[in-house]
Chains A and B, each alone.
Chain A
C-alpha cells in the first residue's frame, strides 16, 4: 500500500488528503523545514514544527495558517497518524512520519547525521518505506567531524585577522550561517548581512542561543571591519554590497566545495567543506537505521544512490521532485 505518492503538486498522502513540501499551492501542506524550496507560499494551511512555523511566518507572511506540532507529538489528519522527528538539517527541520493501517512511511526531507550544535540531532525512525534525499549521494562526499571543521574556520579567521584582512564566509542565511556563527571563537567581532540578521532574530525569538553578532548596516565604520568576520548569503558574492568592503578574504561554505571545479567556479580563496546534508556514508547509515525495505530516493544523485541501494538488497527507486534548486 503506497501511503505517499509523487504527483505533479508534490508528495501526496491520498488517505489523509495532504501533501508534504508541495511545490504548487494545495489545501493542506506538512512542511519538513523552512528553506524556500520546501516551504513554499500559497498553501491554504500548513503543519510544521514551531521553529519552521516562525520562519515561514517571517518568510511567507504573518497571516498564513499554521498548525504547530513539536517533535514526537502525534496528530491526525483524516485518520492518518502524523508525527515530526528531528532531521538535524537546520533548526526545526523534521522528518515526517505517516502511519495508516499498520503501514509506516517516513519522508526525511533534507537531513544530516552530524551534530551541528544548533539543530536537534537526527533521530532515526523505524518505518516500512523511507523517502531520502541524495544531494551528496556519491562516495566522494565525506564530511569532516564538526569539531575539526570549526577549528578550520577559526584558524582561517586567525590568519586573515593577523594580516588585518576582513574575513567573509558566504553561507546560506538560514541554518548554515547560525551553525558557523556558533562555531566562531571570540577572537574578533562578527558582522552579519541583513538576511542572516533576520534569520537570527526569528531563531532567537524561538529560544535558540546564538553567539553575539552585529547587523552590518550603513552605520558600521570600515575601520571596525578590520580583522572581523562577516557572514553573508552566497548571492552577495561579487555584488555591490560586497564591493564596499576592502581587503577581503573570501570563503564559501558548502558541501560542493569538495571539488576543485566547484571551488574554481566560485572563485573564492577558501572552500570550506561544510554541509547541512548527509554525506555518502551518512545516507547509507540513515537508510539502515530506519529498517525500511523500500527506499525512495529524491533530489540529488538519485540514480547512483538508488542503484547502490538496490545492489545491496534494498528495494530502491527514484522519484522526481522540485527540491534542491534554490539552496546553495
Chain B
C-alpha cells in the first residue's frame, strides 16, 4: 500500500490541478491493474461496507491509545476527522508487511462475513503495524468518505492520459454499478459496449454578464429566457434507450422515472435543459429537488411530493445529426417542434421572453423571485452550441442575492481545511428585544478574517456546550442568501436557501443588526399575499 500512501502524500503537497493530474497518471502508470481498479473504485466512492461502525472504531481506538473517552472525544473535536484522529493517537508498535492495495481491499471486503471480534482484532492489528500516514489511509479505506480532494473529473483526466481513451468515453464506462470484485481494469476501461449511446455532449456554459445589458446591442439579436434554479441536464434518447446526465456528468437516469417514457418516442435526440421539480402548475423550490435527488432509494412518497420535470433549452442532436454548429434560432425551432410532438407535461419548452426594450427586460429580471427563477439567460440568436465556458454569445444574468445583517452568537470548529478554527457560526437577528437564532453559515471569510474571528471567539466565550461556544454578541456579518421560505422546522420560523457570509460588517454594532420584521419583509416581497 506504500505506493497508494505516496499518491496521497503527493496529492496533499499541491493544490495545482495539473500537477495533481500528473501524480494520478503516474500512479496509474506504476501500479498493477488490480490496484488501479481499486484506486478508481475508492476515488469514485465505490467501497466495501464498513467493517466497523464509527462508534466501535472510536471505542477501540481510545482503548488502544490508552485514553479516557472524553479525552479522545475532545481531541477528535480539534482534529475534525476520525481517521486522522485515530492515526495520530494509536501508536505504531511494530511493522507489518506492505501488501498491495488490492490485497488490503480484498481482505477488508471479506471481513463483513466475519464476527465482530475478528473484525476488531483485524483492525487493531493493522493500526499497531502502520505509520501515521498509512494508518490514516487505512482508516479511510475501512471508514467513511475517501476524498483526497480529487474530483471525478481529475481522475478521468489522469485515466485518459494513462489509457489514451477520451475522457467522455471513460466517463460513461465508469458509470453504473460495478465492483472491483466482479470486473477487471482492462474490461472496465476498454470494453466497447452498447453504452456508447449514452455518451453526452460537453455542456456549453455561460459567464455572468459583465457591464450593462444595453451594451449587448439590439434586443432582437438575443433570445431571453428564465434562468431556472434546478440541475442542468442532458436527455439522450438513442436507439430505444434514454440516458439523463447532470452537468456534473453524473448519470441520473435511474433517479428520474418520470422521463423514462421518452424511450418510446420514435425520433432520436439529445436535449439540453434543466431538471426541476414541478407540481403540474409551477416550478417547485430547489429544496424539493435536493431531497428527491439526495435519496438513495426513490420512495413512492418522494415521487408524489416532488415530481420531476425537464425544461428544455436546446436541441443538440436530432436523428443522429449533430446540430451544435447551426444557429440557436434554428435549434430552438426544431426543439419547439419536437417538444410539441412529444406533447408531455414532463417536457416543458423554455419560453422565450418577449419584450420591446432592454429596460423592459431589466424590469422583468427584477421580478425573478416572483417568477420562481433566479434571473435571466441571454443568448445570441445566431450562436452555435459551444464546448465549456465561453464568453460572448451566452450570458447568465442572475438576480443579486438577498442580504441581511446578523449577529454571531454561537461558534463551532470547522472540518478539513478549517479544522481547529472556529469557523462554523450561528447567526441571530433581533426579535422583541432578544436575539433570535435563524441561520448557520460559514463560507465567505478570508483566511486572515477567519483567524481574527477565531481569536475573538476564544477570548469572548460565555459558555461551552460540547463543541459549541456561545460568545458575547458583538460581531455583525452580512449574510447573503438565494431564497427564503417559511418553515415549521426552524425555531425562527424561517428557512434560507444557500446562506453564506457575504462580508464582515466591522462598521456595525450588534444592536444595529436587522430584525425578524426585516426578514419577513423580504419574504413578503417574493410571495405577496
Q: Which residues of A contact B (CB under 8 A)?
A: 138-140, 142, 258-265, 267, 269-270, 301, 304, 307-308, 311, 325
The verdict on B455 contacting chain A, using a C-beta distance below 8 Å, is yes
Find A139's partner among B14, B67, B420 (CB 8 Å cutoff). Answer: B67
The answer to whether A270 and B13 touch across the interface, beta carbons within 8 angstroms, is: yes
Find A307's partner among B15, B70, B79 (CB 8 Å cutoff). Answer: B70
By DSSP majority rule, is chain B's interface helix, strand, loop, or mixed?
Answer: helix
The answer to whether A140 and B85 touch across the interface, beta carbons within 8 angstroms, is: yes
Most B CB contacts (10 A, CB to CB) among A142, A263, A264, A325 go to: A264
Question: Looking at the complex, which of B402-410, B411-419, B481-489, B500-508 is the stretch in contact with chain A?
Answer: B411-419
The answer to whether A304 and B71 touch across the interface, beta carbons within 8 angstroms, is: yes
Q: Apart from A259-B78, A260-B416, A261-B81, list 6 A-B contacts with CB within 8 A.
A: A261-B415, A261-B416, A261-B418, A262-B419, A308-B71, A325-B455
Per the bound structure, the CA–CA distance linking A270 and B9 in Å amounts to 10
Q: Which residues of B lie under 8 Å from residue A308 when comparing CB positions?
A: 71
User: Quick one: closest A residue to B67, CB to CB?
Assistant: A139
Per the bound structure, the CA–CA distance linking A263 and B13 in Å amounts to 9
The answer to whether residues A259 and B79 also contact, given A139-B89, A140-B85, A270-B13 and a CB cut-off of 8 A, is yes
Q: Which residues of A lie under 8 Å from residue B84 when comparing CB positions?
A: 259-260
Per the bound structure, the CA–CA distance linking A270 and B13 in Å amounts to 7
8 contacts between A and B (CB under 8 A): A138-B75, A139-B67, A140-B78, A140-B85, A259-B420, A260-B12, A267-B15, A325-B455
Shortest beta-carbon distance from B167 to chain A in Å: 27
User: Quick one: closest A residue to B81, CB to CB?
Assistant: A260
Per the bound structure, the CA–CA distance linking A311 and B414 in Å amounts to 28
Interface size in chain B (residues, C-beta < 8 A): 29
Top 5 nearest A-B pairs (CB, nearest first) are A261-B419, A140-B88, A269-B13, A264-B417, A304-B74
Find B74's partner among A138, A260, A270 (CB 8 Å cutoff). Answer: A138
Shortest beta-carbon distance from B462 to chain A in Å: 14
Q: Which residues of A lie under 8 Å from residue B78 when comparing CB positions?
A: 138, 140, 259, 301
Shortest beta-carbon distance from B192 to chain A in Å: 41
Find A261's partner among B13, B67, B70, B417 (CB 8 Å cutoff). Answer: B417
Find B420's partner among A261, A304, A307 (CB 8 Å cutoff). Answer: A261
Q: Which residues of A lie under 8 Å from residue B74 when comparing CB positions?
A: 138, 301, 304
The verdict on B65 contacting chain A, using a C-beta distance below 8 Å, is yes
Shortest beta-carbon distance from A263 to chain B in Å: 7
Q: Which residues of B lie under 8 Å from residue A258 when comparing CB positions?
A: 88
The verdict on B80 contacting chain A, using a C-beta distance below 8 Å, is yes
Shortest beta-carbon distance from B190 to chain A in Å: 36
Per the bound structure, the CA–CA distance linking A139 and B88 in Å amounts to 8
Shortest beta-carbon distance from B80 to chain A in Å: 6
Q: Which residues of A lie under 8 Å from residue B85 when comparing CB positions?
A: 140
User: Quick one: closest A residue to B455, CB to CB?
Assistant: A325
Type the 1/0 row for B430-455, where 1 means its CB is closer than 8 Å to any CB of A: 00000000000000000100000001
Q: Which residues of A lie under 8 Å from residue B164 when comparing CB positions?
A: none
